[in-house]
């Protein structure tokens, strides 16, 4: 198994629709304004946080969160704000939210994706965690974002939020699609945990 290079990612995106929409270089400025980069890098692809939805854990301050029977009422929609630096959501101190990616993935049978954090966010106390997307998974990733600081923290929409690393190996015998994985074909909205 090896990590895919920019040329290989580009080929799979353009020929097979692996990433859509696809940006074939790293965008770090738009309309003369610096942004958190997104697009193709040397050995990965930085995806963006969609402005459509950001749900913060916090409606219930007691009890438990059950991943086998998730109660969406514990999530609070947060407002998309805007100023001269861009559009953003505010994540409260030690807060945790669910968002969704702007890009859609459609993975081939021999490619699996792992997400890693972006250093700019990590240096601000923000951790982005998504589980691997396995071979033949497709849809919009639900993003889990945590504020590890005692400060309010901005999460910028339409800008890079996490980097995806693509690993290619021999084609698997049973893909995520073959086994009818429960998170297959996610729409561009937050998908809660399922048993």
Residues designated catalytic: 144
Q: How far apart are CA 162 and CA 144, in angstroms?
A: 10
Q: How far apart are CA 4 and CA 164, in angstroms?
A: 11
**Cα distances (Å, whole numbers) of residue 188 to 23, 39, 136:** 19, 18, 18
Q: How far apart are CA 87 and CA 159, in angstroms?
A: 9
Q: What is the DSSP letter of 122?
A: H
Q: Which two tokens stand for residue 192?
A: 């809660």
């Amino acid at each position: 198994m090896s990590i895919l290079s920019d040329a290989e990612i580009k080929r799979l995106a353009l020929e097979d629709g692996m990433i859509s929409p696809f940006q074939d270089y790293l965008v770090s400025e738009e309309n003369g304004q610096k942004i958190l980069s997104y697009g193709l890098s040397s050995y990965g692809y930085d995806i963006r946080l969609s402005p459509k939805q950001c749900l913060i854990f916090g409606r219930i301050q007691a009890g438990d969160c059950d991943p086998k029977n998730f109660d969406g009422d514990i999530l609070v929609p947060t407002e998309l704000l805007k100023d001269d630096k861009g559009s953003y959501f505010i994540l409260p101190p030690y807060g945790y939210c669910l968002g969704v990616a702007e890009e859609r993935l459609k993975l081939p049978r021999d490619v699996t994706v792992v997400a890693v954090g972006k250093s700019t966010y990590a240096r601000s106390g923000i951790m982005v965690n998504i589980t691997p997307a396995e071979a033949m998974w497709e849809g919009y990733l639900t993003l889990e974002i945590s504020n590890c600081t005692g400060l309010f923290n901005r999460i910028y929409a339409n800008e890079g939020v996490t980097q995806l690393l693509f690993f290619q190996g021999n084609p698997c015998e049973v893909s995520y699609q073959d086994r009818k994985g429960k998170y297959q074909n996610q729409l561009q909205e937050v998908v809660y945990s399922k048993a």
